[in-house]
Amino acid sequence: MRGRQMLLSGLALAVAVSAAAEEGAVWRRAAENAVTANENIVYCLDHAEGWLQQADPETGLLPRRLKEDWFWNAKDCAADNFPFLLLTGEMTGQHHIRRAARAVFDAERRLCPRLDSLPDDYLFDRQGFRDGTPKTEDLIFGAAEYAKDGLLPVIEWMGEGPWLDRAREMVADIWKHAVFETPHGRLPSPVLEVNGDLLQVMSRLYWMTGDAQCREWAFRLADYYLLQAPLVEGDKIPLRDHGCEAVGGLAEAYVIAWKTDPAKHAAYREPMHRLLDTILEKGTYPDGMMPNWFNPKTGERAKDTVSDGWGYVYDAFLTVAMVDGHDPYRAAVEKALNSAHTHLGTNWEGYRGDGYADSVEGAINLLNRIPCTTAWPWVDASLGIVRGLQGHDGIAEGWYGDGNSARTLMMHTLWLTRGVTAAPWRKDVTLGADMEADGSVCLHLSTQWAWNGTLRFDIPRHRDNLRMPLDYPRINQFPEWFTVEKSGRYLVSENGGAEREVSGEDLLNYRVALKEKETLRLKVRAKDAAASGAVPAEPWREQRFHAVSGEEAERWQRETRGALLSLLGLDACAAQWAKAPLKVREGGRRKANGFQVVEVEFAAAPERRIRVLVGMPDGGGPASCPAVVCIGGHGSKPEDVFDEKSIYKGFAAALARAGAVVVAPDIAYHDKDAAFKTLLGQRTWDLMRCVDYLASLDTVNPARIGCAGLSLGGEMAMWLGALDTRVSAVSSCGFLTLMDQMERNHCLCWKEEGLRELVDFPDLYALIAPRPLQCQLGEQEPRDQFPPLLGRVAFRDVQRCYTLLGVPGRAGLHVHPGAHEVDREALVAFLMGTLAVTR
């Protein structure tokens, strides 16, 4: 009995320890989310203030573009930029932005209507309309875009108000002036995009207002595209914005039919499923992504395109799956989400911020309904690229599409805070959240300066603001994460203190006062909520660097390095061969400019010998020279790193002339010996044996050994520095990136089984700390290879480790004006400078 009691006590203790560890992990993730959310909020605040400074001084209206198009229009300025200035003001409680944005709205409503309430372009130079004669079809197009992209997100977030009135009056006048005659009634336009916009607007206005006319209009459009002129019988189905709106819009009308008209739902079911089945059959790639358009008759697709509107289209699939219980449509969405991370380097709309923003917007809407562990890091990295486009003046690319970037960053922020906003949300205020398995939300709030404000918890907006019967995925929504019922009862605790009961109404404006540099940990749970039994996430980057102290960083390095040595099979190599003799054989020797080149062979393993080129500087003394392992990329030979005309710029020769002993191995092979567990392990072991060789030379100081490489060589320099602590300095050129970027358009020799589940490349670079690290990238790198924008995103995680270890200046990202090549002078200066001082 006593033994059983001891066993039970031990199990209880283990459970308690595990629960405490998980709780600690939740608070850590909340703090990390707060940092990223703050970066998003700073972007949005700077975006709003930057664009408001560009407003026309007479009217306050915003220009379409900053380099040209000095006019306001409905389909761009009002639809894509203005609403997210307004929502920035509302979400952050920054009254000066909110007042300025509302003034823009008032000016638009006062100055721009031309045909009844339908707005026209307003030219600032003329202080009047841009065209002499209004074009009805253009006015309808602009009003439809304004209502769908501009006003629907405002209405959903803010509820009833003048924005709803503006949408309703424009919709009524769009139908009043409809121009497209069909045998079954007049439609607003022959343009699919316009009618797709209106399908969405009609559907949501119907739910919000109960206006039967909106339902009739939605059904008239759906009848046309499902029953009278089905999209599948045309020559082209668009799958990106500027056309794909119709697919999502038809799904929204389908919900109305399902809920209010069983006969109509039955009539729509077969053609709706036929449309979606055709898209799956002919309009998707094997990984679930989509081209910009396809021909439903022939299967022809837009060449060399991946649609940034893929998520918008899959909104329809998931909506119909929710209505009809059709599992294959949900599975199709899951397939696309599971492949999203392989598209970090994809050309979304010419690599513009708007393309990244639209792709991520669609993903976040779907991730709200279908969790996918691998997709969230892709979201984070993609939006890191978007943030990197913004200048110091708050302007990103200087066109109306900048607003779409702000929109998606707001969406991302609401995920990071689980829907909670702060007022005022200043730039020095950081707010983030994470959820526990029982449904509790854990909020981390900190401030640089004293702060007196409110935390505002979200409500079920789809129900309370839009009065929808079902929270189906849709374009231009801000998904709900943690919501409170106004009449509900909740338990809150601050900084681990005792719980106290509050109402949901209290949480809509929860007062908080913080002193300078103070932090609040606020935990909130529904009083009567049962444990949710959340499904554990699939393992993905489990050893991500997340230390918060130098001691914790060092412990993380030891654990992660050990895990990686085991993953690659290098622990076994070290156990068997660490003391194996090199059995060096020298071959030919020739004189070069300032050094000698020697052909050398030595044993990497008992049954494996490798050939290297060694550069011996003239005049080296006993144990005085620094040394560098010089590594080439795919398709290279050891001679290439000595060639000044190559992309390596002869960096090995330059180092030898500067006084370093250099060794250039061949690691560009793809054949693995049977004695090794992994190809990466074999390559890394070969490089470790190069370090053994250099350390064995009488002229080399073993404390002054570094490594450098380009492309694959940059990757292997990273690996060598990460796993072999004898390496004193690393220059990794043309490689700093994220693993998501490497999933396409690259050789997959980097991708060993289990690696992605353990780390990402920034974690490997962080293992080099506190030793000096230089990463090089070229400004002219292709955007699908190793662009500096993405490199800066990756480098942030690396820099955090160096900062925690007290040596932030030892890690640097050097961006040079070239392409995929070495900046030789910068590399040599870095290595010879850092290796001049022994550790």
Third-level CATH fold of 550-834: Rossmann fold (3.40.50)
> Residues 750-754: what's their mean pLDDT?
96
**Residue 20 pLDDT grade (very low, low, confident, very high; cuts 50, 70, 90):** low
SS3 content of the chain, % helix, strand, coil (to 5): 50, 15, 35
**Residue 22 pLDDT grade (very low, low, confident, very high; cuts 50, 70, 90):** low
pLDDT above 90 coverage of the chain, percent: 90
Residue 429 to residue 276: CA distance in whole angstroms: 45
Residue 216 to residue 209: CA distance in whole angstroms: 13
Pairing of strands 180-182, 185-187: antiparallel
Residue-wise pLDDT tens digits, 604-653: 998 899 999 999 998 766 778 999 999 999 999 999 999 999 999 999 99
DSSP 817: S
Pairing of strands 773-778, 729-733: parallel
Residue-wise pLDDT tens digits, 220-278: 999 999 999 999 999 999 999 889 999 999 999 999 999 999 999 999 999 999 999 99
Residue 292 to residue 401: CA distance in whole angstroms: 19
**CA distances to 63, 354, 629 from 72, in Å:** 5, 19, 59
Q: How many CB atoms lie within 10 A of CB 661?
A: 24
Question: What is the pLDDT at residue 21?
Answer: 59
The residue among 607, 569, 598 whose CA lies nearest residue 693 is: 598
> Is it the case that residue 163 has pLDDT exceeding 80?
yes
> Is it the case that residue 307 has pLDDT exceeding 70?
yes
**Residue 531 pLDDT grade (very low, low, confident, very high; cuts 50, 70, 90):** very low
SS3 state of residue 804: helix
Question: What is the pLDDT at residue 560?
Answer: 97
HSE (side-chain half, CA atoms, 13 Å) at 812? 14
Residues with Cβ within 8 Å of 835's Cβ and at least 6 positions away in sequence, in order, are 626, 628, 660, 704, 705, 706, 728, 729
**CA distances to 159, 467, 814 from 209, in Å:** 11, 8, 57
Chain region(s) in the chain for CATH 3.40.50.1820? 550-834
Residue-wise pLDDT tens digits, 73-83: 999 999 999 99
Its sign, for the CA torsion 239, 242, 248, 250, is negative
The residue among 211, 139, 129 whose CA lies nearest residue 178 is: 139
With 0-12 CB in 10 A as exposed, 13-18 as middle and 19+ as buried, what is 771?
buried
Residue 466 to residue 155: CA distance in whole angstroms: 8
Pairing of strands 700-710, 661-665: unpaired
Chain region(s) in the chain for CATH 2.60.40.1180? 1-37+420-457+484-538
Whether the Cβ atoms of residue 783 and residue 351 lie closer than 8 Å to each other: yes
Token output for 801: 């480790």
> Is it the case that residue 1 has pLDDT exceeding 70?
no
The residue among 441, 437, 440 whose CA lies nearest residue 416 is: 441
Question: What is the pLDDT at residue 792?
Answer: 95
Residue 255 to residue 324: CA distance in whole angstroms: 10
Q: What is the helix (H) or strand (E) element at residue 270, kind and residue range?
A: helix 262-282
Q: How many CB atoms lie within 10 A of CB 342?
A: 18
> Is it the case that residue 692 has pLDDT exceeding 60?
yes
Whether the Cβ atoms of residue 763 and residue 560 lie closer than 8 Å to each other: yes
Q: What is the helix (H) or strand (E) element at residue 628, kind and residue range?
A: strand 625-631
Whether the Cβ atoms of residue 684 and residue 719 lie closer than 8 Å to each other: yes
Token output for 467: 């009065």
Question: What is the pLDDT at residue 24?
Answer: 85
Residues with Cβ within 8 Å of 145's Cβ and at least 6 positions away in sequence, in order, are 74, 75, 76, 78, 79, 197
Residue 236 to residue 483: CA distance in whole angstroms: 41
Residue 794 to residue 734: CA distance in whole angstroms: 13
Q: Which long-range contacts (CB under 8 A, 24 or more apart) does 634-639 make?
A: 634/668, 634/711, 634/712, 634/747, 635/668, 636/666, 636/668, 636/712, 636/713, 637/666, 637/668, 638/611, 638/612, 638/613, 638/664, 638/665, 638/666, 639/613, 639/664
**Residue 16 pLDDT grade (very low, low, confident, very high; cuts 50, 70, 90):** very low
Residue 294 to residue 302: CA distance in whole angstroms: 6
User: Model-level pTM?
Assistant: 0.91
The residue among 460, 464, 465 whose CA lies nearest residue 479 is: 460
- End-to-end, the C-alpha distance of the chain in Å comes to 59
**Residue 345 pLDDT grade (very low, low, confident, very high; cuts 50, 70, 90):** confident
Residues with Cβ within 8 Å of 101's Cβ and at least 6 positions away in sequence, in order, are 48, 52, 82, 85, 86, 88, 89
Mean per-residue pLDDT of the chain: 94
Question: What is the pLDDT at residue 837?
Answer: 64
> Residues 397-401: what's their mean pLDDT?
97
Residue 310 to residue 335: CA distance in whole angstroms: 12
> Is it the case that residue 528 has pLDDT exceeding 90?
no
Residue 429 to residue 37: CA distance in whole angstroms: 10
Residue 369 to residue 474: CA distance in whole angstroms: 12
Its sign, for the CA torsion 668, 674, 680, 685, is negative
DSSP 535: P
Residues facing residue 776 across a β-bridge: 733, 814
- The structure tokens 């992605």 sit at 756
Q: What is the helix (H) or strand (E) element at residue 591, kind and residue range?
A: strand 585-591
Bond before 770 cis per omega within 30 degrees: yes
Pairing of strands 625-631, 700-710: parallel
The residue among 71, 60, 75 whose CA lies nearest residue 126 is: 71
Question: How is 496-514 classified by DSSP, letter by letter?
Answer: T---EEEEHHHHHTEEEEE
The residue among 398, 480, 656, 552 whose CA lies nearest residue 28 is: 552
Pairing of strands 519-526, 441-447: antiparallel
> Is it the case that residue 50 has pLDDT exceeding 50?
yes
- Please provide residue 749's backbone torsions phi and psi, each rounded to the nearest 5 degrees: -65, -15
Residue-wise pLDDT tens digits, 785-824: 999 999 999 999 999 999 999 999 999 999 999 999 999 9
**CA distances to 105, 256, 346, 394, 785 from 780, in Å:** 41, 51, 17, 24, 10
**Residue 183 pLDDT grade (very low, low, confident, very high; cuts 50, 70, 90):** confident
DSSP 549: S
Which one of 2.60.40.1180, 3.40.50.1000, 2.70.70.10, 2.40.50.100 gives the CATH number of domain 1-37+420-457+484-538? Answer: 2.60.40.1180
More confident residue, 440 or 539: 440
Residue 816 to residue 826: CA distance in whole angstroms: 9
Question: What is the pLDDT at residue 734?
Answer: 98
